[in-house]
Structure 1
Amino acid sequence: MKDYRIFLIDLDGTVYRGDETVESGVRFVHRLAEAKKDYLFLTNNTTRTPQMVVDKLKGHGIETDTAHVYTPSMATASYILQRNHQKKIGLYIIGEIGLWSEMLSHPEFEINEKNPDYVIVGMDRDLTYHKVRVATRAIRNGATFIGTNADLNLPLGDELIPGNGAQCAMVAAASGQNPLYIGKPESIIVEMALAKVGHTKDEAIIVGDNYDTDIRAGFNSNVDQLLTLTGVTQKQDIVGKKQPTILVNNLDELNYEKKY
């Protein structure tokens, strides 16, 4: 295995499945820590703050801190700030605490329902017609439409529930504008994450269970990929498709006798 310097690790399906622990994923993270390898949990979830992610991971046996968590909320804030140098940037936000707390932590942003510069749509389990109407109006009036991620569905137990991509599709249909997506599988979040930790693409590998988000994020950003079959994607799902750099049934299968 290549001597990777940074591991960008997905969460749901890789180190846990809802409330269930993926033991091989937890052992994988422990081995990385013991080998003093850099890692960053790269999630598409905007409903949790980094501290909430840390607290959840603790419940699955992983002790970490917020410096090891990167979310589309953080990437969205960085993306906008890099492109705007005005004193105040108006936002209209659809989302939950993870998105709101990140955006409001930056003094450059202010909430503006009437004439925002950006409409940001993240997962919102309390989505209302009013929120969609305000977002649609703002986009029609010239606001840039950003979706934190394009996940159409999310696993919840044995059920697939509507994801942020489904919400964004409604706003897109009503406004006539498609969003710019930030989260996996887009390259934006990968590039922002690597900039945060100070590593290059050739030093990195993305680890995850979902071919359409995690692995395609690697393809799109020219970063190596490690697909573990402990979550969404199974071997038969990728027959005839571009293959990941590494494919394992679970993360215990990696040979840790070799330097990595």
Structure 2
Amino acid sequence: MELKNKKCFILDMDGTIYLGDKLIEGTKEFLELLEKQNKKYLFVTNNSSKSAKDYVDKLNRLGIYAKKENILTSGEATCIYLNRYNPGAKVYVVGTEGLLKEFRDYGFNVTNGREELPDYVVLGFDTSLNYMKIWEACSFIRKGVPFIATHPDYNCPLENGEFMPDCGAMIEMFKASTGIFPKIIGKPNKEIVDVIYEKTNLSSKDIAIVGDRLYTDIMTGKNSGITSILVLSGETKAEDLEDTEISPDIVLESVKNLYEILI
């Protein structure tokens, strides 16, 4: 499998490029090499708690120059998906202010109460989650409002081996209350892969995906025929590979090793 022939690398962020507010060693050199070799790269994160602009700001703070067009979040992918079928729809978003702004920027009518049924309930990685949001969303879902979730990740990796509960854990809570499982847009699902193809103007054979999670990043590759590269710098550890049906094409310690392969 010749990685040097790939035209674009799809890069997860949390656990792959950085942990918390610390850049993973080798990241800057790897990105500079891709630019030198005229290869494309797209940061694709399932973390919908921040907007693309938030991620641009964070990457810039960490010393990585990025533009908005270099970023795709599961939140934006959800906006793009819903915009295809029901532009301007009324949406009840369980999410951060960054995610709400993203929906407004795409022209959706973001509602904030029970006065009338929305067209969709959208659940993101809501670090501002409170009981009233949970109650209102569950009430809408029980009344038949379509339930959409941005991504299925159970935990968000941080520095020093710590984790934050993520959207997948919240999905389980909503399902326990309503009995309804949402349609999920983010990795590893087809909907976000279609957006990746649109943004890169490339097909699966020209792309490799790099990430730290088996059930999202690596499954994205498996589901779409994209070469998958697992890095052990985030959620997945080497011992996790001993008891899984999700096999990455390549396993590396970090993006530093990928840099060494491509140089």
TM-score by length of 2: 0.90
Matched letter for residue 60 of structure 1: L
Where does residue 245 of structure 1 map in the other structure? 249
Question: Partner amino acid for 1:37?
Answer: K
Q: CA deviation at 1:167?
A: 1.4
Which residue is equivalent to 1:133? 135
Choose which of 213, 233, 237 in structure 2 pairs with 1:234: 237
The amino acid of 1:246's aligned partner reads: I
Paired AA for residue 256 in structure 1: L
CA distance in 2, matches of 1:52, 1:112: 23
Look up the SS of the partner of 1:239 in the other structure: helix
Q: Verify the 8 A CA contact 1:6 1:203 in the aligned structure 2.
A: yes
**Cα displacement (A) at 1:240:** 5.0
5+ unaligned residues in a row in structure 1: which ranges?
Answer: none
Post-superposition CA distance 1:70-90 (Å, at most 9, x none)? 0011110111111225xx411
Counterpart residue type for residue 239 of structure 1? E
Find the counterpart in structure 2 of residue 200 from structure 1. 203
* Gap change, CA 1:108 and 1:230, over 3 Å in 2: closer
* Aligned pair partner of 1:162 in 146, 165, 169: 165
- Distance across 1 between alignment mates of 2:162 and 2:108: 39
Structure 1 residues 109, 221: closer, same or farther in 2, change over 3 A? farther
In percent, how many aligned pairs have the same letter? Answer: 35
Match of 2:71 among 39, 64, 69: 69
State the match for 2:7 in structure 1. Answer: 5
Which position in structure 1 is the counterpart of 2:123?
A: 121
**1:104-131 residue CA offsets vs partner (Å, 9 max, x unmatched):** 0022434264211100011112212211
Which region of structure 1 is more displaced relative to structure 2, 225-234 or 110-119?
Answer: 110-119
* CA–CA distance in structure 2, aligned partners of residues 232 and 173 of structure 1: 25
CA contact (8 A) 1:90 1:112 kept: no
Q: What is the alpha-carbon root mean square deviation over aligned residues? A: 1.8
Q: Tell me by how many angstroms 1:66 deviates.
A: 0.5
Q: Does 1:256 align with 2:259?
A: no
Aligned-partner SS, 2:26: helix
Cα separation, 2, equivalents of 1:186 and 1:236: 25
Paired residues for 1:203-218 under 5 Å: 203-218=206-221
Cross-structure match for 2:26: 24
> 1 or 2, which has the higher helix percentage?
2
CA 1:21–1:171: 2 relative to 1, 3 Å: same
Structure 2's unaligned 5+ residue stretches are none
Runs of 4+ in 1 over 3 A off after TM superposition: none
Matches within 5 A, 1:81-92: 81-84=83-86, 88-92=88-92
1:249 and 1:81, CA in 2 relative to 1: closer, same or farther beyond 3 A? same
Alignment partner for residue 193 of structure 2, among 183, 190, 193?
A: 190
Shift in Å, 1:252 = 3.0
**Structure 1: which amino acid aligns with 2:122?**
I
Aligned residues: 255
2:51 maps to: 49
